[in-house]
């Protein structure tokens, strides 16, 4: 049986000279086996590199030349134990907050050998009627191997509710019968689809080779609700590939490393039966742009409004995806370079090598156009001197692409989006958040389209007004992407030196307004963390709206045990329940976040009227 990549790495016959044609940054020495003995180094404690960090070029430079997601950290470095502080404080009750529910069970967080794992984070949620699915990154993966019961070896965990989120069944890992070859590696995104009287959930994440060799992918399971009422169950199929590496290097026919796909997220177009995925590709091409990441997109056919096969032959239970051309071999010095094309490039490489990351999509259901937001010059604004200049400002970018550019073919009709605009960001990625075991913090923009208000909006955390951050909103006109507000609007009320970060936003509600949630602290002097929200925000507003508290108890991040980085993820999620008719959303807002009130980060949720 192949060794797990987060506890060991096989000796890879990669000579330094093989990659000479790819530039010094791509060169790597042969990997050395890492002990299974359970030492601090083997688990990544104290900075020890494990997993594929010693043999995979992407992992070799992760955290120094560029940064990536929690799933990438797990893939490269394995478990990272964060100890509980010696002085715990009781969680503060929040009167009037909605009911909070954990989607996971501590009883499931035990490996087949009896090892209890600590920490679940990076959550996503979707709902349709009484059915709710929440997904997360699950640390039980660190101590389980392929063949574990309920797919515990998968990084991507999943919970299912049949009563509107009052209770959940922890289903373990996302179903993957081929776990000996590839694993669902986390960064989940969940979407819901109601069609023909049936309910489907699509759960995606990174899909990576267990030995670190070969293409990396974005994949998802199509899961159907079977049965009715409290006896209903969730049946998930086999993994479906939504995107694949477009660059690979081979040497002597037995070693291959490829570009790395990271940070997937999905958006659904129920009016046309389409599912879109955005992600970031870390390329392996030579030159100063070696680290210039590429935001990209793919599309899947999920059938017609009647549930019949769509133009590409896809159905709700068996989607058909278009994700680029096959790899074609070319010769590059002493190695062989295989290249293909993605379905759609959202942006060309940055000439200075400044990192693009954190892509999120949204669909205009009125005409099928797709909008994508991402952050430019994240992490490199701290660690790459080429990106320190006023000529390379950190900014959140919004792009728009009309439906005619996006056919169900291997590649799109248009080379790039037809419209683009951006907002300069006063970045918080150099901040250290007390109790948060990840550096840097992200300023990734979350995005939603309001057809009714004729806007596309982004929200993000920003330090321009307060060093500890605010949640800002900027809206743009659909199509032209001209700004609606002259300057971004602050969403968090009565700051008083508090901390606000990692907002969640996915879709507009039935009124065309936005529901935004975020992590919040009353001051920089405490690690007591709540989730706050602004409900029913007109995307054209110029005033700070009222806020409510979502969490019924605060969570002290300094007193949590976690085997995972980041311990509380780098995104939370908000979504409105779906319906089968336009505008395809109901009246219930679901908020999902990672919560540490028990002393261990767990996936929680709450719902309020949208």
Distances in whole angstroms, Cα of residue 49 to Cα of each of 28, 154, 192, 387: 14, 21, 38, 27
Cα gap 476→76, rounded to integer Å: 38
Q: Is residue 2 part of a domain?
A: no
Cα gap 455→470, rounded to integer Å: 22
Tokens standing for 204? 């995606």
DSSP annotation of 343: S
Cis, peptide link before residue 289, omega less than 30° from 0: no
Beta bridge partners of 96: none
- What integer pLDDT is reported at residue 77 of this predicted model? 75
Q: Is residue 4 part of a domain?
A: no
Q: Is 36 exposed, middle or buried (0-12, 13-18, 19+ CB in 10 A)?
A: exposed
Listed residue (520, 506, 419, 514) closest to 469, CA to CA: 520
Which range of residues forms the domain containing residue 343?
16-609
- What integer pLDDT is reported at residue 81 of this predicted model? 57
Question: pTM (2 decimals)?
Answer: 0.89
Count the domains in the chain: 1
Cα gap 263→260, rounded to integer Å: 10
Listed residue (297, 260, 295, 270) closest to 280, CA to CA: 295
Q: Is residue 364 part of a domain?
A: yes
- Contact call for residues 595 and 102 (beta carbons, < 8 A): yes
DSSP annotation of 214: B
Tokens standing for 108? 């499931």
Cα gap 395→382, rounded to integer Å: 14
Q: Is residue 437 part of a domain?
A: yes
Strands across the sheet containing 328-332: 255-258, 247-251, 335-339, 328-332
Q: How far apart are the first and last CA of the chain?
A: 49
Q: Is residue 312 part of a domain?
A: yes
Cis, peptide link before residue 440, omega less than 30° from 0: yes
Cα gap 44→589, rounded to integer Å: 38
Tokens standing for 482? 């001209």
b (16+ CB within 10 A) / e for 39-51: eeebbbbeebbbb
- What integer pLDDT is reported at residue 2 of this predicted model? 35
Q: Is residue 331 part of a domain?
A: yes
Half-sphere exposure of 192 (CA within 13 A, CB side): 31
- What integer pLDDT is reported at residue 38 of this predicted model? 29
- What integer pLDDT is reported at residue 405 of this predicted model? 98
Pairing type for strands 294-301 and 169-173 reads: unpaired
- What integer pLDDT is reported at residue 234 of this predicted model? 98
The phi, psi pair for 406, rounded to 5°, reads -120, 65
Average pLDDT for consecutive 10-residue bins of the chain (610 residues)?
A: 34 30 32 28 33 62 76 75 47 80 96 96 96 97 95 97 97 97 96 96 96 92 95 97 93 78 96 97 67 90 92 97 92 75 89 91 97 96 92 96 97 96 97 91 96 98 95 98 98 87 97 98 93 97 97 95 92 97 95 97 95
Tokens standing for 442? 């992200």
């Amino acid at each position: 049986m192949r060794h797990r990549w987060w506890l060991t790495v096989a000796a890879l016959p990669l000579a330094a000279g093989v990659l000479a044609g790819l530039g010094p940054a791509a060169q790597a020495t042969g990997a050395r086996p890492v002990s299974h003995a359970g030492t601090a180094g083997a688990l990544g404690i104290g900075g020890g590199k494990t997993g594929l960090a010693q043999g995979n070029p992407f992992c070799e430079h992760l955290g120094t030349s560029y940064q990536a997601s929690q799933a990438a950290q797990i893939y490269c470095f394995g478990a990272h134990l964060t100890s509980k502080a010696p002085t715990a404080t009781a969680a503060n009750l929040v009167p009037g907050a909605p009911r909070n529910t954990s989607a996971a069970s501590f009883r499931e967080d035990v490996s087949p050998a009896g090892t209890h794992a600590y920490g679940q984070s990076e959550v996503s949620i979707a709902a349709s009627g009484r059915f709710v699915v929440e997904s997360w990154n699950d640390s039980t993966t660190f101590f389980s191997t392929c063949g574990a019961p309920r797919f515990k070896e998968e990084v991507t965990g999943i919970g299912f509710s049949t009563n509107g989120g009052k209770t959940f069944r922890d289903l373990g890992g996302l179903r993957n019968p081929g776990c000996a070859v590839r694993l669902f590696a986390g960064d989940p995104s969940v979407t819901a689809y109601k069609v023909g009287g049936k309910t489907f959930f699509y759960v995606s994440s990174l899909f990576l080779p267990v030995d670190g060799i070969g293409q990396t992918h974005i994949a998802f399971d199509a899961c159907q609700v079977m049965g009715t009422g409290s006896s209903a169950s969730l049946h998930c199929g086999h993994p479906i590939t939504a995107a694949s590496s477009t660059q690979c290097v081979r040497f002597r026919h037995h070693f291959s490393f490829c570009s790395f796909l990271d940070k997937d997220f999905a958006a659904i177009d129920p009016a046309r039966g389409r599912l879109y995925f955005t992600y970031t590709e870390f390329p392996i091409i030579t030159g100063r742009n070696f680290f210039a990441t590429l935001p990209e997109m793919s599309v899947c056919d999920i059938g017609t409004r009647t549930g019949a096969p769509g133009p590409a032959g896809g159905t709700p239970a068996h989607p058909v995806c278009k994700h680029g051309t096959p790899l074609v071999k070319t010769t590059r010095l002493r190695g062989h370079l295989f290249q293909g094309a993605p379905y759609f490039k959202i942006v060309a490489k940055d000439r200075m090598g400044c990192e693009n990351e954190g892509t999120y999509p949204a669909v205009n259901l009125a005409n099928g156009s797709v909008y994508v937001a991402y952050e430019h010059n994240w992490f490199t604004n701290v660690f790459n001197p080429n990106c320190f200049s006023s000529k390379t400002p950190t900014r959140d970018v919004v792009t728009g692409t009309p439906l005619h550019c996006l056919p169900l073919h291997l590649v799109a009709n248009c080379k790039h989006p037809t419209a683009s605009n951006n907002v300069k960001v006063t970045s918080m990625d150099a901040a250290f958040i007390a109790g948060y075991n990840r550096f840097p913090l992200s300023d990734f923009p979350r995005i939603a389209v309001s057809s009714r208000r004729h806007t596309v909006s982004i929200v993000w955390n920003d330090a321009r007004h307060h060093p500890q951050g605010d949640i800002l909103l900027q809206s743009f006109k659909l199509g032209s992407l001209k700004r609606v507000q002259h300057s971004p609007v602050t969403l968090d009320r009565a700051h008083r030196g508090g901390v606000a970060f990692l907002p969640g936003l996915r879709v507009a509600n039935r009124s065309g307004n936005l529901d935004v949630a975020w992590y919040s602290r009353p001051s920089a002097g405490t690690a007591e963390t709540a989730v706050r929200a602004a409900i029913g925000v007109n995307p054209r507003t110029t005033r700070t709206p009222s806020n409510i508290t979502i969490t019924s108890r605060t969570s002290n991040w300094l007193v949590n045990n976690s085997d995972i980085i980041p311990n509380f993820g780098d995104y939370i999620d908000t979504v409105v329940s779906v319906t089968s008719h336009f505008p395809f959303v109901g009246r219930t807002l679901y908020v999902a976040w990672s919560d540490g009130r028990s002393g261990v980060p767990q996936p929680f949720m709450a719902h309020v009227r949208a």
